[in-house]
Amino acid sequence: MSRPRLARWILIALFLALVIPGGLDLYRHRHFDIPVVAGPGVTRVGRLSDYGPGLNGTMADTAVFFMEGKEPGGKALLMANTHANEPAGLLATLLMLENGVVEKGTLIVIPQFNHSASRNTKPGDGYPLYYDIPTAWGKKTFRMGNRDASPLDQWPDPDVYIHFPEKQLLSYIDIRNTNRTWPGRPAGPRMEKVTHAAMELLRKEKVDIAIDFHGAETMFPVTNCIVAPEKGSRIATMAALTVKAKEGFDSHVEPSPAGFRGLSHREIGDYSDTVPFLLEAPIPFLDQPTGPKTVQLLLDGKDPFLLSLASKKKLFVPYEESGWSIEKRVGQHCSVALEVMRQFAKKSPAREITVRDIPRYAEVVKNGVGHYFHDPGAAARDRVFLN
Amino acid sequence: MPVIMIIYYLISAYLVGLLIWSFWHEKKNLQNMVLYLLVLVPLVLRLLRIK
């Protein structure tokens, strides 16, 4: 065999050695399912495509869990994984689904709002494909997703994303970001179909409040906060003051900017009767100047570079050697969400939502997140949903 | 699948064919051969609906 011919075959072998194992890892990640054990409070499970038929049979369709109380009352929609690389919201909603019981009113929970993004990853940023949460019965494995939907589900991206219906020019990549595509349209790009279906859900189910769980960098000013539009600012302020006074953690209020379009906390309020809130918990993993993007950093939030920046007052949250653990972030989401619902009930007593058995901040920090997850292997098969 | 997405898959398939043809017919320059294969990686993963 001549030398060029030999080199060609060696290169082909190297190419296959690179593509096949790497491709298999990515394929397995996209098709990895997370079992959700529906707790005693879950009364029925639907699909987002029930409200937007254009999503039926696509990777953008996602499970919608209903937790209906025995007494009538208000309705709240809880959405997590709008950005699937911010896992505290997902863990908080799953913890609520597996443990919570609604006594009055209804909770509607969508744990994987951008389902396509939860099956996407960011290898260029060194994202881990999975992370494990330790539990009493073993470890529970979760997919680590990405901020934007997978291009396998919506492609190509435009040069500039023109928001519908406000016509604001946004970054091209935001066409796959379900926190820029609100209120959406039924015949738009797939992520606009996702947000449009959610808008239909809000309108048809007559939902009173919507809570969108997120995480934000410690170096980003809109972090550790409740973002609310004008009509929700009083409830948000009271919730922020109450958690500070009663539970001892900060979550300040940020106004939803009227000139920045496509975000849940803006468009839900402008295009429906629902009052939206967006909760941000700090996530050091997403900060740029950190060490390697490991599972450990994702879960404990400890990073020496951020610690150094904190000493120079470059962060927007207090940051110590203890980091910013997943327990703190999940606990904050649980407490703030419960407090927003309680404050809403004080304002509209006829639309009260009463929930029990959802742990608050101190309990989650003390017991750990995994304490609240149930073994899918030991649960009745008809109560386990793959998501 | 929207029409525009189908068109982009066809473009990707065309580029994959072009790169394989160029790689196969490159006789001397090893650097070019490596570059053809590197460019091929994301296109193959997209065509196979992996990434």
- Write out pLDDT tens, residues B18-49: 999 999 999 889 999 999 999 999 999 999 99
Distance CA A212, CA A251 (A): 15
Given an 8 Å threshold on Cβ–Cβ distance, is A155 in contact with B33? no
Q: Which two tokens stand for residue B44?
A: 């193959």
How is chain B split into domains, by residue range?
15-51
Contact call for B8 and A18, based on CB within 8 A: no
Using CA atoms, how far apart are residues A177 and A195, in angstroms rounded to an integer? 10
Residue A5 scores a pLDDT above 90: no
Q: How far apart are CA B28 and CA A322, in angstroms?
A: 57
Inform me whether the C-beta atom of residue A30 falls under 8 Å from chain B C-beta atoms.
yes
A20 in contact with chain B, both atoms CB, cutoff 8 A:
no
Residue A362 has pLDDT above 80, yes or no: yes
pLDDT digits (tens, 9 = 90+) for B1-16: 889 999 999 999 999 9
pTM check: above 0.90? yes
The verdict on residue A6 lying in a domain is no
Q: State how far the Cα of A277 lies from the Cα of A201, in Å rounded to an integer.
A: 17
* Cβ(A99)–Cβ(A39) below 8 Å: yes
Element (H, E) at B4: helix B3-25
Q: Is residue A25 in some structural domain? A: no
Min Cα separation B49/chain A (Å): 6
Range of the domain at A52: 32-386
Element (H, E) at A71: strand A71-79
User: ipTM score here?
Assistant: 0.94
Q: Which candidate, B1, B2, B4, B44, places its Cα nearest to that of B20?
A: B44
**Mean pLDDT (whole number) for A164-173:** 98
Structure letter (DSSP) for residue A34: P
- In angstroms, the CA A331 to CA A334 distance is 5
Mean pLDDT of A121-135: 95
pLDDT tens, position by position, A17-42:
999 999 999 999 999 999 999 999 99
Mean of per-residue pLDDT scores for chain A: 97
- At residue A294, the pLDDT reads 97
pLDDT digits (tens, 9 = 90+) for A321-352: 999 999 999 999 999 999 999 999 999 999 99
CB contact under 8 A, A19 and B44: yes
A246-295 per-position pLDDT tens digit:
999 999 999 999 999 999 999 999 999 999 999 999 999 999 999 999 99
Query: Which chain B residues are closer than 8 Å to A12 by Cβ?
Result: 37
Q: How many domains does chain A have?
A: 1
pLDDT(A2) > 80: no
CATH at A36: 3.40.630.10
Considering the domain boundaries, does residue A12 fall inside one?
Answer: no
Q: Which residue of A has its CA nearest to B42?
A: A19
With an 8 Å Cβ cutoff, are A30 and B48 in contact?
Answer: no
- Interface subset of B 10-49, CB within 8 angstroms of A: 23-24, 26-28, 30, 33-34, 37, 40-41, 44-46, 48-49
| Residues belonging to chain B | 51
